[in-house]
Amino acid sequence: MQKNKKISEELKTEMHELHRDFHDLYPLHTPSNEEDRETGFGSVATEEEKADPVKAKTEKKKLTPVFLFSLLIVAGLTAACLAWPSQFLAATSQLCDTISTDFGWFYLLLVALIVIVCMVFMISPIGNIHLGNPGDKPTFSRASWIAMLFSAGMGIGLVFWGAAEPLAHFATSTPGPEVGSVEALRDAFQYSFFHWGFSAWAVYGIVALALAYFRFRKKEKALFSVTLKPLFGKHATGPLGTAVDVLTVLATVIGVATSLGFGAMQINGGLNYLFGIPNNSTVQLIIIGITTICFIASSLSGISRGVRWLSNANVIIAVAFVLAALAIGPTAQTMNVLVTSTGDYLQNFISMSFNVAPFDQSHHDWIKSWTIFYWAWWISWSPFVGIFIARISRGRSIREFLLCVILIPTIFSCIWFAVFGSLTTAVQIGGVNLANLPTETVLYGALAHYDFGRVLSMVAVVLVFSFFITSADSASFVLGMLSENGNLEPRLRTKAIWGVLLSELTCVLLLSGGLGALQNVLIISALPFSLVIALLLVSLHKELQHERVQMGLFLRPLILPKADKPFRSYEDQKTLKPIEIIRKSVKADQTVMAFAKATAGMSTEEKKEAVAVAEGVLAEMKSGEKKSPAAAKTPTPEAAKPAPSGTPGFIGPDSDDKGIVGVS
């Protein structure tokens, strides 16, 4: 008994020392949430805010040069579109075509590189780094978090194109095979998955990761320009930073206004199909007016209430909608399509990601019209979606963040396209030419040929309406942040102003027929922004590698077991468990409590054995402290033996770094 008590006290002392050494590895360690809250910045204050909270809060709520320049440029583009609609459309179309022809390869290469970087971050020790202070917990549940990021990222577009794109690839313009052929049908689903899958969400994910990492981990302002500090230093907050942030605002305004225009058109198309309401600009203006009131009310209620509730409702309605469509449609055929097309997508992902088709002009033109267009679209939308996702992602690890942001929406998107693409292509094959319908009415036209189609069409209208509100709500929130110098809680007045401006811009463009020109401007803006994303990749990698080294996160353990034997969890669990607890609980500083809990159910003999193991670990720690630097650099033959897979590594005080190696 006395011996166990002595061991317990020794363990406690040793763990406190290790805990202190571990926290010495965090030069960027920040105050606790309580200290942060005293500054009034929602527990994520920058150093400037902590030094002078009153001044910093005042500076945040000033209208910045970014806001003023962005407003002038948006006003100029809108005026040009109103004054010379045909000339503006022709000029932007020509420039858009030139960019797609001359720089299409760059878009494909950049997006492929982004996917690779995201995969490396997920599987490397970098994935253990958290987006925030040590111990920060996520603000939202995982379900609500995924619902919000999905609603903001692809809501209206998914409903708009879910039924129309596979049909277009099959019956109108195929990537290669003859229109209407079996090969064209197979390619239609494969490319729909490709356009809305990993690549799109990897673009969103890497931008959101950079913003969340620098804001919550480094305590920088919530501005895109700040992510370039590792490359440009103080210049990232000068004229260069202003230009980057202006481009961010422009891409957000133009992208959201375009999507809201499409949303209004699809709602109008549904109302026309259901109730015979005229499909014209007047009705669309009324729709925009009603939705504006709704999303401003949602925006005023705050992100934790309005956006979260609506996003949760969106996902519930969307899941019910897709399940109902699966039930009334060709269910077996849909599941066959889903499984086969998923295999085609995964099998051909690399070739599709790098294929510009330079030797086949017709295929090259198709890639320009679809794949390159989509890649530019995702790049243009990435600042808006990225900032919003970053804002709601504090407290999550990089691995969890990227896995959820990329994988889950991709799976849902593939299911969505398989279900609604099967509905439309089945009707088309049956002899009804849905391809002649306007894009916004294809879904309603297909549902009309199935049981309960009218009910599902009503659900579709409600879903588009709800996605419209969440997209505009999220956009007004993001624009409010940028207008107030990165304020994570922009004033209600600022959000309301941006909400009204977005709606007015959408109305003006609908009246002038300028959505096509605005869509071209969106693609044009993607080129300079793609260069910014390329710089962001380098900057983020540089900073994460620096932190990885400082924290001692390595794939290979730096201290290896003395004996190479076939460790068996089912035989060694009683003796290995205390070692695991000692090594893993350094971060939590709960070694003694965890050790006692782990041995509570053991017999007396088993407890003695566990204590002996713990003593051995402590002896190993102490012997490491007495080694000289020269000895530490010369591993013994035993230490040089390879560690078995999955063996946790402990970096002792004799090594170059101190702390626990994150091996997962």
Q: What are phi and psi of 29, to 5 degrees?
A: -60, 135
Q: Which of 58-67, 82-91, 313-322, 371-380 has the lowest mean pLDDT?
A: 58-67
Average pLDDT over residues 215-221: 89
Residue 37 has pLDDT above 70, yes or no: no
Phi–psi pair at 625, nearest 5 degrees: -65, -30
CA-CA distance, 532 to 357, in Å (whole number)? 26
- Residue 359: alpha-carbon gap to chain centroid: 35
Please spell the DSSP secondary structure of 230-251, one letter per residue. Answer: HHHGGGGGSHHHHHHHHHHHHH
pLDDT beyond 80 at 164 = yes
Q: Kindly tell me if the per-residue pLDDT of 72 is higher than 60.
A: yes
The pLDDT of residue 267: 87
User: Sorting pLDDT into bands at 50, 70 and 90, what band is 634?
Assistant: very low
Percent share of the chain, pLDDT over 90 = 27
What pLDDT score does 148 carry? 75
Confidence of residue 438 (pLDDT cuts 50, 70, 90): confident
By C-alpha distance, which of 447, 421, 442 is closest to 433? 442
Of residues 594 and 497, more confidence is placed in 497
> Which position has the higher pLDDT, 85 or 336?
336
Question: How confident is the model over 217-233, as a mean pLDDT?
Answer: 88
Q: Angle 604-625/591-598 helices, nearest 10 degrees?
A: 150
What is the DSSP code (8-state) at residue 367? H
Of 3-12, 192-201, 525-534, give the range with the top mean pLDDT.
192-201
Find the angle CA(560)-CA(564)-CA(570) to the nearest 5 degrees: 100
Q: Which domains does the chain have, with CATH numbers?
A: 70-551 (1.20.1740), 554-660 (no CATH)
Predicted pLDDT at 428: 94
The count of residues in the chain is 664
| Per-residue confidence (pLDDT) for residue 49, from 0 to 100 | 52
Q: What is the pLDDT of residues 384-394, one digit of tens each?
A: 888 888 888 89
| pLDDT reading at 95 higher than 50 | yes
Give the pLDDT of residue 638.
42
User: What is the tens place of the pLDDT at every residue in 558-596?
Assistant: 555 555 555 454 455 444 444 454 444 444 444 555 555
- Give the residue-averaged pLDDT of 167-187: 90
The proportion of the chain whose per-residue pLDDT surpasses 70, expressed as a percent, equals 71
**DSSP H or E stretch at residue 203:** helix 198-212
Task: State residue 337's pLDDT score.
Answer: 96
CA distance 651 to 648: 10
Give the model confidence (pLDDT) of 334-348 as tens digits. 999 999 999 999 999
**In this predicted model, which residue has the larger pLDDT, 308 or 269?**
269
Average the pLDDT over 293-312 and give the result.
Answer: 71
Q: Are 288 and 276 in contact (CB under 8 A)?
A: no
The answer on pLDDT for 259 being more than 90 is: no
pLDDT of amino acid 351: 95
Concatenate the DSSP letters of all residues of 452-470 into one string: THHHHHHHHHHHHHHHHHH
Three-state DSSP class for residue 659: strand
Confidence of residue 556 (pLDDT cuts 50, 70, 90): low
- 524, 89 Cβ separation under 8 angstroms: no
Gap between the Cα atoms of 445 and 448, Å rounded: 5
The mean of the pLDDT values for the chain is 77
